[in-house]
Amino acid sequence: MPLGATSKLQLPDGTHVWLNSGSTLTYPLSFRKHHTRLVELHGEGYFKVAKDKTAPFIVDMADMDVKVTGTVFNARAYDDEAYATVALVEGSVELGSEANKGKEFTKYESLRPYEVAFLDKRDNQLKIEAKSDLDKYTAWREGRTVFDNDPIEIVADKFEKLFNVNVKIQSKDLLQYRFTATFVNETLERALKILSISSPIHYKIIEAKKDSNGAYGKRTIILSKANNTIN
């Protein structure tokens, strides 16, 4: 899935999947000859899994795998992000590690509806939190990006996928701040403007340059702490 775009597809078993910007999903042409329905996700996907108790549905996300028989959940596991998350909308899921093409599954934890699992890939620490609202994790399907008390690293990660840019956090002071905002189909410039109005952030956009083949790379966004001193 190209950066800055989303898509919806139906798998051979009837499962519906929405893919977020910069995501890929690998799956077989048919699940009929398999004991499990194994797919591989790099990025973010919203799954409405078709029920089949005889063939568990397994999402291989490299650092944290998900096993279900029929349920609705959102999973985010970009290779370049420090965290992987699974938010359960309805049904139940098992979190663990798959092996042998899905024939083996080692269960670590399980989720109940409106619980979210966070895996810190840097130290392999897993925590589970109960939420009253999952809009923050599922709103992207409707073109909305929701931040709710999120650190700047999360904001930067989502901006990179949403707008196909590189984001550099220049000021370490920004790491102590939390951000709450909702963006609805905003342009990059508009989103940065909103961010700077609602928080002590100064931003600079460095336009993309042509490479030796004449193709443009990504724009770079430099984030620093705003200087509010009046001279």
Task: Write the pLDDT tens digit of every residue in 42-57.
Answer: 999 999 999 999 999 9
For residues 23 and 31, is the Cβ–Cβ distance under 8 A? Answer: no
Instruction: Report how many helices (DSSP H) and strands (DSSP E) the chain contains, helices first.
Output: 3, 17
Place of tokens 């923050």: 136
Which of the two residues, 101 and 151, has the higher pLDDT score?
151
Write phi, then psi, for 135 (nearest 5 degrees): -55, -35
**Residue ranges in the chain assigned as alpha helix (H):** 135-138, 152-163, 188-198
Instruction: Find the range with the poorest average confidence among 2-6, 7-11, 20-24, 185-189.
Output: 2-6
CA dist list (Å): 102 to 40, 55, 125: 11, 10, 23
| 3-class SS of residue 121 | coil
Structure tokens at 47: 């799954």
Distance between CA atoms of residues 228 and 177, nearest Å: 16
Mean pLDDT across 92-96: 96
Residue 81 has pLDDT above 80, yes or no: yes
Angle between helices 152-163 and 188-198 (to 10 degrees): 160
Which amino acid is present at 129? E
What's the length of the chain? 231
pTM across the whole model: 0.87
Give percent helix, percent strand, percent coil of the chain, each to the nearest 5: 15, 45, 40
Distance between CA atoms of residues 57 and 51, nearest Å: 9
Percent of the chain with pLDDT over 90: 69
pLDDT band per the 50, 70, 90 thresholds, residue 86: very high
H or E element, residue 231: none
CA dihedral sign, ordered 97, 99, 101, 107:
negative
Which amino acid is present at 200? P
| 3-class SS of residue 162 | helix
Q: Give the angle subtended at the CA of 181 by the CAs of 176 and 118, to the nearest 5°.
A: 60
